[in-house]
Amino acid sequence: MIYRLREFPLLTTHPAWLEFVERACQACGLGPKAVGHLNGLWGNPNVLGLVGEEDTWPVALLVCELPTPMMLCPVITLAYNEGSKELRARMFCWLARWVRAAGHETVSMINRSGHTDTVYERALRPLGTIEGQATLLKVKLRQEGEPGAEVLTSGGVGLAA
């Protein structure tokens, strides 16, 4: 069974739900504040939040946001599945219909799980053609005083705290 969280807000207060979302966020490399952020999104009409259940237990979570002025296309911000491939396929099918109904033909996703992109490509391939568009560069900032951090305090640019 698949539920759209916007239509079932009481589900998001159940302790089993909160435990599941914490696990999903952790698996996707998101910090502890992500759970509260996600729970604040469910009422937004520009956000699709789907939960998939098997044996009356949440096992999959899919979150997609429609573009804002800073995003060029809809973005899958979280995709997590402990359940079956069939459930995953049905959830992605629902997502595709929702994105098309909003007038868009593409969707983007960032893999921050630690799994290879091949895993995500296999899951997303039924939706359409996959094209690499960008590279996400994650920069762990140096601490001032650390070797190589001179650039943080030089170059005639004053950095305010």
Contacts of 43 (CB under 8 A, 6+ apart): 6, 9
| Domain-located, residue 161 | no
| Domain-located, residue 157 | no
Domain count, the chain: 1
The span from the CA of 22 to the CA of 32, in Å, is: 7
| Domain-located, residue 156 | no
User: Which class for 91: exposed (0-12), middle (13-18), buried (19 or more C-beta within 10 A)?
Assistant: buried
Q: What is the CATH number of the domain that holds 70?
A: 3.40.630.30
Dihedral over alpha carbons 28, 32, 36, 42 (to 10 degrees): 0
For 17-157, strand residue ranges (E) read 47-54, 57-65, 75-81, 108-109
39 compared with 101, residue with greater pLDDT: 101
pLDDT at residue 96, as a whole number: 92
Domain around 117:
2-136
Whole-model pTM? Answer: 0.78
| Domain-located, residue 142 | no
Task: Give residue-wise pLDDT tens across range 66-86.
Answer: 998 777 889 998 999 999 999
Task: Give residue-wise pLDDT tens across range 23-55.
Answer: 999 888 888 888 888 888 888 899 999 999 999
Percent of the chain whose predicted confidence (pLDDT) is above 70: 84
Task: Give residue-wise pLDDT tens across range 132-160.
Answer: 766 666 677 767 777 765 555 555 454 45
